[in-house]
Amino acid sequence: MTTEFGQAMRRWRDRVSPEAAGLPAGGHRRASGLRREELALLAGISVDYVTRLEQGRASNPSAQIIEALARALRLSGIERAHLFRLAGLAPPGPETVPAYLTPSVQRLLDRLAGTPVAVYDASWTLLIANPPYAALMGDPSGWRGNQRNGVWRHFLGPGSRVRHTPESLPPFETAVVADLRAAAGRYPADQRLRQLIAELRANSERFAELWDSGAVGHHEAARKTIGHPRVGPLTLDCDVLTVAGNDLRIMIYTAEPGTEDAERLALLTVLGIQELIG
């Protein structure tokens, strides 16, 4: 790892205010930028690893780590490519699943700070989730590798808090498998995507059945019931917006105003943010 990499990280960390990153400023601060622990929180890595990266003591960070740092530091496309090169990696090309949050998408998330919102890539790997989303669906900051992929979590992992019915489950599974098939067609050179599909086919009979059948489907706006361990079940509207040109999926949960679900959503959002800031 080069000292230039660490210097670039510190320089970019110093220019991002906590408020701009959706974090409370709180307490006395020697600098206006992010603290190391705040960058670690936003990027989903340990404070020790951030320290070692900045001091040039960490070797061979993965492309996923660099991507997470670029998002947390709100780098432009040119800066993101520069960070990849400083890490000794080639910037992701058009043949790989896009994972870059453009400034316009980031601004959209900032304006939805009180609404549960998450951004996924075309393979349904979670890129970023705001605090209300983490409060609703569970904190994803400790998830690594395929744990961050929604398709893997459904077929091979612990699933999610969404409660499926016998009627809603088959079309949901068909849609996510079809989405993954479409992504594989658009990004045939993406090695991580190929590995994900191979693992799913080898270890989930249901996924393999749907994949081999050539199942087709697509996500639609839907009402979903989320079983929350603290406030009970919530029935919410779930909309998925696709970002043209970046192939990102923005998932947004909202409640009908004036309902008990809206009250529960507001309560768990406050509780989740309080837990986040300690």
Asked if residue 247 and residue 177 are part of one domain, the reply reads yes
Residue entry with tokens 């996510």: 176
| pLDDT at res. 27 | 63
Helix, strand or coil, per DSSP, at residue 275: helix
Asked if residue 266 and residue 208 are part of one domain, the reply reads yes
Tokens at residue 81, please?
């490519």
Residue type, 227: G
> 253 with 115: CB under 8 angstroms?
yes
Asked if residue 247 and residue 137 are part of one domain, the reply reads yes
> 12 with 75: CB under 8 angstroms?
yes
Over 60: is that where the pLDDT of 66 sits? Answer: yes
Can you say how many angstroms the Cα of residue 102 is from the centroid of all Cα atoms in its chain?
14
Structural domain span for residue 139: 103-276
Handedness of CA 5, 8, 13, 16 (dihedral sign): negative
Assign residue 48 the CATH number of its domain: 1.10.260.40
In a domain, 96, yes or no: no
Residue type, 196: L
Domain boundary among 86, 117, 136: 86
Asked if residue 200 and residue 68 are part of one domain, the reply reads no
In a domain, 94, yes or no: no
Over 50: is that where the pLDDT of 277 sits? Answer: no
Assign residue 174 the CATH number of its domain: 3.30.450.180
Residue type, 116: P
In a domain, 92, yes or no: no
In a domain, 93, yes or no: no
In a domain, 250, yes or no: yes
Percent of the residues in the chain that have a pLDDT greater than 70, as a whole number: 92
- In the sheet with 162-163, reading across from the earlier edge strand, the strands are 126-129, 117-120, 248-254, 232-243, 222-228, 162-163
Number of folded domains that form the chain: 2
Asked if residue 107 and residue 81 are part of one domain, the reply reads no
Asked if residue 271 and residue 170 are part of one domain, the reply reads yes
Asked if residue 214 and residue 112 are part of one domain, the reply reads yes
Q: Which of 256, 266, 179 is nearest to 223 (CA)?
A: 256
What tens digit of pLDDT does each residue of 85-133 get? 999 988 888 888 998 888 888 888 888 988 999 999 999 999 999 889 9
What tens digit of pLDDT does each residue of 68-78 get? 899 889 998 89
Asked if residue 268 and residue 146 are part of one domain, the reply reads yes
Distance in angstroms (rounded) separating the CA atoms of residues 147 and 143: 5
| pLDDT at res. 230 | 86
